Chains A and B, each alone.
Chain A
Amino acid sequence: MNRAHVSVQGITKRFGPTVAVDGVSLDVEEGSFTTLLGPSGCGKTTLLRMVAGFHHPDQGDIFLRGIRVTDIPAHRRNTAMVFQEYALFPHMTVGENVGYGLRLRRVSADEATRRVGQVMELVGLAGQQRKFPHHLSGGQQQRVALARALVVEPEVLLLDEPLSNLDAKLRIRVRSEIRQLQQQLGKTTLYVTHDQEEALAISDRIAVMNRGRILQLGTPLQIYHHPVNRFVADFVGLANFLEGEVSAPGQVRMEGVSLTVPDGALPGRRVTVVLRPEAIRLHARPPEGVANVLRGYVTAASFLGTLARYWVDAAGRHWIVDVPSPGEALMTGEVFLEIPRDRIHLLTET
């Protein structure tokens, strides 16, 4: 018996000649926050909409608590979805919008009023029931949409890029509110976004998708520090990529440089070295007694508040280096890159 709350097994969905979702399997545990992350057109929204019941998979099955729901239409699955454009009913008040699902479930009027009031309080919009959606700001509309989905106590909460219409600051605030609410209610949540920072910040687990497949499933830390391939490493965060060959155990040789790396790869294999910008240390003078030091020149520098980002030419390559909490002045001219061995991530497949 599968313990997963939502289980997607071997799902394929085609639209004409294009394969939107290509044999995907995914288990979501009860109470967890799982994010489908990927570039547009990677199939993440199609996958979410199949869980909601808007698309029927060509192959494969979907289970909710072990019960097959593949053929159950959207309105009879106990899932609730929050849409990118909120999809609030413009002809209903906020209260009527939130109470819509309850009315369909034949909840008595008094009970419905009570529960709408509760959930409105939960999303921080107490007493706004009589307004119309167009009287509210974007962030408030988003919360109403969330309240409308939560009030029917769905088995699974589905969110389709819910923050993409909000401005940058608000997006960060609402996303932490969504996360808090999810933790508080212990609601199993499936979340779709193309924003890797958002995915890292909000999720228990992330499924990175591309071309209809899940490339990697893991916690945000795993995804960031141990990407399984170049696509994941590149899509999530920034990285310097260096290609070379393992010359001896713990040694990678590439054009003009040789680096000491963690053990693991067999000599003779082609590998890609992944280096996050903040993993590299920058020195004005050559550091003493450490391995993997390269001499380089700063070509551009940019001050980003909490860190300074440098573009450095060294060993015939361009490097991106992030230095946390920069002081009063940025470095210029000649610098020395120190690449700590334990911060290097190796990809054996290229």
Chain B
Amino acid sequence: MARILTIPAFRVAPNTTLLSWGGITFLGALLLPWTRSGRDLFTFTTSSTGLALLGSSPLMPAILATAVLVAVAASLPWTNAQRGRVALGLGALGTVLVALRLFGAGQPFSGAAVVAGLGFLAVLGTGLALAGVLRADAFIASSVLWAGAFVIIFILFPLWAVLKASVIVKDQFTLAVVAETLRSPVFFLLNNPATTRNETLIGVQAGLVAAAGAVLFLAVTRRLRQSWVWILYAGLGVGVLTALYLGFGALRNSVLLAIVVGVISTALGFVFALLGERSRLRTRRLLGPFSILPIITPPFVLGLAMIYLFGRRGFVTYQMLGISTNIFFGPLGVAVAQVLAYAPIAYLVLQGVVQSLDAALEEAAETLGASRWHVLRTVIWPLARPGIANAFLLVAIESLADFGNPIIIGGGKPFLATEVFFAIIGRFNPNEAAVYGVVLLAMTLSIFLVQRYWVGRRSYVTVTGKPSGAKARPLPPALDYAASGVFLAWMALIVALYGSVFVGSVTKLWGFDYTFTLEHLRNLSPTGWKVFWTSAKLSAYAAIPSTLLGFLIAYLVTRVEFPGRGGLEFGSMLSFAVPGTVMGIGYILAFNQGPLLLTGTSLIIILAFVFRNMPVGIRSGVAAIHQIDRSLEEASTMLRANSAVTLWRIVMPLVRSALLSGLVFAFVRAMTAVSQVIFLITPQHSLATTQILTYIEYGSQGRGAALASLLTVFMIAVILALYGINRRLGGPTAREVTAA
């Protein structure tokens, strides 16, 4: 009995994980090149392998020796805790040495740096797990470190580069560029010297009038005492809006656009959500397909279509109404295109909100004497308010960040997202671009924070947890018909717009000569087809790591407790809030020189896609993993599976269809992305979306339409295939994934 209890716990077999990582790191550092001479990633220069550098670089023997020591530590008969502490030290030392070597040399990195860096991080992770610092096993600990490193290098570092470029010019700290940019009339101009009126004064007056109106209203409704803040808000809000309306410049255009598009899209989205959940008419079945269409096509396709239908020689404006108008070139046209593109996003957000409204609450109000109107005002509205705010803020971020529509039908008016582009491409001023980027980032980021930490917390959880059995009350017929009418009108517009692009691709010269031709489609060869396949190839490459990394991070943040978990989650979700153009210049500024040189390669485009679309993977991963009862994993652990095995054998099969949907949507988003890659493309690595923009800019709209049609049809085919497969797998529908 006593002998059984005293099994020696300190005689442990060699740790194979550590041993392998030590070996891999050693071999990689010894045999692979540390640096490369040009941009090309896969050049093998024997002169920069560890073996060759052994004599010249003092760091090289230290790095190799550290790797050998890891292998030794793995083999010695120590207890886990001892081995862990040693591995922890060696891993940290190795990581620092690799970083020193990389940044000390200052030359573009190559294979050995990647292998050694990741290898030492894995050793560090294993050490943390063995020493018991992290309550996780080696796989999880290493995953956390790797994910953290990726988020720091490919999300935080580029953003830091943008911040830095806005205030540091030629290694000197200066606020001159900031001041110059913000004072420029392109950014914002309130008091226009060309007009006699004083815009500032009018703004102040409007604010005062609004505040007075609020006082009056509250006095009449006898709520004056509690609501003085609302007077302040009303005055400030109306004052600022009036000033914006009267002003000029990118800030004014972008902010007004975001507010208007946000309000209209959210209202439409709410109407559609009500229809989808509570309509008795058949038209509600069309909501699904029509809400998904604008999401899976590049948003600027709608901009292009707007030109076709409502432009100077537009089919509706010129051919049918006989007017030649520029009215849709500018903020109005952009607003219409964005509303059409983003109302579905609001719909998908609000669909969940309307679904979760408990019908029993409405019935309870009714039985206490509340009419339909009262129920709407006192029950539905307060409960849906956080969701509505949420939808509004998401749409506002999308609108601020949108690049394609303003550039196509912005009519040359400045917008924040496009000014970032023009500052670099037109004015060759990366510092000015950075300032625009910082302004844009500050706005989207504060909206993101408001949405996440303020609105997010205010949502009401169902008090009793269980949703009641009461069925949703159908809409009153009058409202049902009116809302369905709105939806049908919206749908007709969408059909007309997409239709015009399809027709435009087989029309000789839209607006002038409507004869049928296959010329544009033929002209896609060779350039059009080539960029299309480059797009598809790079998007497919990017989809896999972005989904897997997204799911891994989702698993880590939902299931594992570790210090910095909130940070990892926040950092990886951040790119939701970062406009594509800002991330784009971030990548240019961060990876254009020095040890991390990546520009000009296809890898940087893939990386941009991966870290841009990872949040989609994270969201669908979190949603899918929440569906899995934790006890399944605990059961697996009880049966002696480590977390890698549990993840692979238990979690993966259960989230299979969510994973597939995540993969497809990462692909779709990459295929339709434009703003984050517009700075990164090179003639060899041109992409379909940017090529469409080029075609349109240089006047070959027909070819642009042809390529856009091709892209749209391809995306629809991909989504239909996903539907088909997922139906057989019985997984979530594509719509549920987009909503995630």
Which positions in A face B, CB cutoff 8 Å? Answer: 52-54, 73-77, 79-81, 83-91, 100-101, 104-105, 133-134, 138, 141, 145, 148-149, 152, 158, 165
Contact = CB atoms under 8 A, between A and B. Distances in A.
A148 B462 CA distance: 18
A10 to B, nearest CB: 24
B364 interface: yes
B364 A133 contact: no
Given A86-B463, A88-B364, 6 more contacts: A53-B366, A54-B366, A77-B367, A83-B468, A85-B467, A87-B358
A95 to B, nearest CB: 15
Nearest to A76: B369
Contacts of B378: 100
A54 B375 CA distance: 14
Nearest to A75: B366
A87 B369 contact: no
Contacts, number: 89
Interface of B: 358, 360-361, 363-371, 374, 378-379, 382-383, 460-464, 466-470
B379 A75 contact: no
Contacts of A141: 463-464
Contacts of B379: 89
Given A90-B383, A100-B378, A75 B371 contact: yes
B361 A89 contact: yes
Contact of A152 (B360, B368, B461, B464): B368
13 contacts: A52-B367, A53-B366, A54-B363, A75-B366, A75-B370, A83-B468, A87-B360, A88-B463, A89-B364, A90-B460, A90-B463, A158-B367, A165-B464
B463 A83 contact: no
Contact of A91 (B363, B369, B374, B383): B383
Contacts of B463: 86, 88, 90, 133-134, 141
A168 B724 CA distance: 48
Contacts of A90: 383, 460-463
Nearest to A79: B367
Contacts of A54: 363, 366
B368 A87 contact: no
B186 to A, nearest CB: 45
A75 B374 CA distance: 10
A152 B361 contact: no
A81 B383 contact: no
A85 B460 contact: no
Contacts of A149: 367-368
A81 B369 contact: no
A154 B469 CA distance: 24
A104 B368 contact: yes
B461 A134 contact: yes
Contacts of B462: 90
Query: Chain B interface mostly helix, strand, loop or mixed?
Result: loop
Contacts of B468: 83-85, 87
Nearest to B383: A91
B461 A81 contact: no
Contacts of B461: 90, 134
Contacts of A138: 464
Contact of B363 (A74, A77, A88, A165): A74
B466 A74 contact: no
Contacts of B469: 84
A102 B650 CA distance: 54
Most chain B beta-carbon contacts within 10 A, residue among A84, A91, A104, A165: A91
A101 B368 contact: yes
A81 B461 CA distance: 23
Contacts of A73: 366
Given A85-B360, A85-B468, A91 B367 contact: no
A77 B370 CA distance: 11
A152 B370 CA distance: 12
A49 to B, nearest CB: 8
A87 B366 contact: no
Contacts of B369: 75-76, 101, 104-105, 152
Nearest to B375: A75
B367 A74 contact: yes
The 3 closest A-B pairs by CB, nearest first: A101-B368, A87-B364, A87-B360
Contacts of A85: 358, 360, 464, 466-468
A54 to B, nearest CB: 6
A83 B463 CA distance: 13
A168 to B, nearest CB: 18
B361 A81 contact: no
A207 B209 CA distance: 65
Contact of A86 (B370, B371, B460, B464): B464
Nearest to A132: B463
A145 B468 CA distance: 15
Contacts of A104: 368-370, 374
A105 B378 CA distance: 14
Nearest to B381: A91
A179 B98 CA distance: 78
A161 B597 CA distance: 69
A79 B383 CA distance: 25
Contacts of B364: 81, 83, 87-89, 145, 148
A73 B363 CA distance: 11
Contacts of A133: 463
A100 B375 CA distance: 11
A259 B382 CA distance: 68
A280 to B, nearest CB: 40
A87 B460 contact: no
B363 A81 contact: yes
Contacts of A148: 364, 368
A279 B364 CA distance: 45
A273 B378 CA distance: 57
A57 B55 CA distance: 95
A134 B460 CA distance: 10
Contacts of B368: 75, 80, 100-101, 104, 148-149, 152
Nearest to A90: B460
A53 B361 CA distance: 15
B580 to A, nearest CB: 37
Contacts of A75: 365-371, 374
A79 B369 CA distance: 9
Nearest to A101: B368
A87 B363 contact: yes
A77 B367 CA distance: 8
Contacts of A81: 363-364, 367
Contacts of B383: 90-91
Contacts of B370: 75, 100, 104
Most chain A beta-carbon contacts within 10 A, residue among B361, B366, B464, B469: B464
A74 B366 contact: yes
